[in-house]
Structure 1
Amino acid sequence: MPCRARRADHLFVPAAAWWEYGHETVGRIAFEAARPETRAALRKLMAQGRLLETPDCSVATIEKLSYWPDCVKPLAERFSYASPWHYQNVDICKPFDLKAACKDGNCVSAQIERQSRLLADRTVPTRERLMALAFLVHFVGDLHNPMHAGDRGDRGGNDVKANYGRVGGRTNLHSIWDGYLAERAISTPPGGAHALLASIPSSERPALAAGTVEDWSREQWESARKFAYASLVGDPCGAKPEARPTLDEPDVRALIPELRRGVVAGGLRLARLLDDALLHGKAPGQRDR
């Protein structure tokens, strides 16, 4: 768990949140929810980390692997091609249109499907399958952050200056959901991957894991409008605020259950994709081989 300090207003100041903590939690939930045979296959692949030749970015555990696509971003030209794969800016104030946001497959939902296909194909070299695994785990986490799934032409909320309680300065809507709020929600007792997974009864998990990647995209796009923007500015498609709006403590408490459920949904859906790819050679939209 990342280091953090509690402020007098009960809002956490995280050292690392969705960037590591959110991805790690989605990955760990998926690992725990996957079939034993899938976990064995994951361990076998992750043990081949030397093939990636990224010694400062390990994939030795599901937590480290989940963060690998962000860890390698500083490696300049080696992985710069993947930058647009982490998000999809679908306009929350227009009818849902995933195609327009995914030109040439450069968006998170298209890459979830592509990386699933690469992982499922046993003729693909081990190095490429391991890389596909890291991207897949990370991108499912990205998709289940609403600010990676919908926006108002403001770079996923990066251009919406906002305060998180008493925390201001360089904060914005994206950083709140990517960091401060994610850490608060995941760590609120009972916190952590195991507790979050246990909060969903076994009987409800199949329904939460169901659907297509497009279904999940639409769900998170709706969450961006209904929860992320509306909680901060009221009318999500109204006039953009002139002053810095503040997400206060009552708003944060109201949002925690929604964000926690989204993290669990991401983990369960990822577990399903991993089971399909590693046990059945199947990816979204493909039949069993």
Structure 2
Amino acid sequence: MSDDPRRVAVALMVAVVLLWAPLAHAWGDLGHRAVADVAEQLIRPETRQALQPLLVHEQAAHLADLANWADAHRELPAFKHTARYHFINFPRDDCRFPGATSCNDGDCIVSVIERFQRELADPELSLSQRGEALKFLVHLVGDLHQPLHAGWFDDWGGNGFQINLHGEGSNLHKLWDVNLPAAVASEAPEPLTQRLLALSLPWQDQGRAADWALESCRLIGSEQLYPAKHKLSSAYIERQRPLVAQRMAIAGRRLARLLDESLTAP
């Protein structure tokens, strides 16, 4: 297995990304753009038309151009409070509401997705207000499908779980944010968006943000996201890569449905 050229290339790529990646955010820039691209391929024609004034206002040609705005602005003084928007935490091995520990003030990812969907759908709001709601939604729906953004409170969704991969130190959350999506993107020459659209997915398109949070949380245990040892090999990357692709593909489909409901539903 170790002499498979593709797997060797993936292992080397992951090591390089771990070495050079900046502060990580869910799915990384590449993954968020892929989620947005999937959604844009699937929205209704009338939704696409309704999006145009908002995209023009935001000086964007595609949804993917907005996909990383929320991360790019979260470090600015005026947006510091939005750091809480990107996750929800649960007590360890207790994926249920009201067991969630980080939504009491209404600023967790579940509540703000619901709020921004209402704002996007409100024709009485300005283009600026609805455009900002759109930028957050495109990003946060992606975030919520990275399982560790609905992870354990005691280690802040894997940020406190230190790992070593190919001699480089990192943490489990960062691995899922950046390195695993990069591994998915590099595994085949076809464009990532097209591969995500072609996936056969074990899911049903139903539920809302709270259901998606519980789904992500439960994956942490059922799919054994936490490795038994802190020193990882490329075998962990290989094992989790299909799940990462599935989560990005599902996020894109659910984002498309959310945009359809907000902009063109009766």
TM-score band, normalised by the shorter chain?
Answer: 0.7 to 0.9
Counterpart-to-counterpart distance in 2, 1:91 and 1:182:
26
Q: From 49, 57, 64, give the equivalent of 1:40.
A: 49
Residue 110 of structure 1: CA displacement? 1.1
Secondary structure in 2 matching 1:194: helix
Indicate if the aligned counterparts of 1:105 and 1:111 stay in contact, CA closer than 8 A: yes
Contiguous gaps of at least 5 residues in structure 1: 1-5, 51-58, 234-243, 281-287
Indicate if the aligned counterparts of 1:92 and 1:225 stay in contact, CA closer than 8 A: no
Residue 116 of structure 1: CA displacement? 0.4
Counterpart-to-counterpart distance in 1, 2:243 and 2:173:
16
Closer/same/farther in 2, CA of residues 33 and 247 from structure 1, 3 Å limit: farther
Residue 94 of structure 1: CA displacement? 2.4
Q: What is the TM-score with the length of structure 1 in the denominator?
A: 0.79
- Map of 1:101 onto structure 2: 102
1:135-187 per-position Cα deviation (integer Å, ceiling 9, x unaligned)? 011000000111111125111111111023x0523x10111001111211243
Indicate if the aligned counterparts of 1:92 and 1:224 stay in contact, CA closer than 8 A: no
Residue 39 of structure 1: CA displacement? 1.6
Indicate if the aligned counterparts of 2:10 and 2:187 stay in contact, CA closer than 8 A: no
1:275 paired with 2:260, answer: yes
- Map of 1:112 onto structure 2: 113
Closer/same/farther in 2, CA of residues 74 and 150 from structure 1, 3 Å limit: closer
Indicate if the aligned counterparts of 1:143 and 1:220 stay in contact, CA closer than 8 A: yes
Indicate if the aligned counterparts of 2:145 and 2:247 stay in contact, CA closer than 8 A: yes
Code of the residue aligned with 2:155 in structure 1: it is: D
1:230-251 per-position Cα deviation (integer Å, ceiling 9, x unaligned)? 4x12xxxxxxxxxx71232222
Q: How many residues align?
A: 250
Residue 8 of structure 1: CA displacement? 8.0
Q: What is the TM-score with the length of structure 2 in the denominator?
A: 0.85
- Map of 1:140 onto structure 2: 141
Code of the residue aligned with 1:90 in structure 2: it is: F
Code of the residue aligned with 2:206 in structure 1: it is: A
1:41-69 per-position Cα deviation (integer Å, ceiling 9, x unaligned)? 2232111026xxxxxxxx44311201111
Closer/same/farther in 2, CA of residues 199 and 94 from structure 1, 3 Å limit: closer
1:28 paired with 2:12, answer: no
RMSD: 2.3
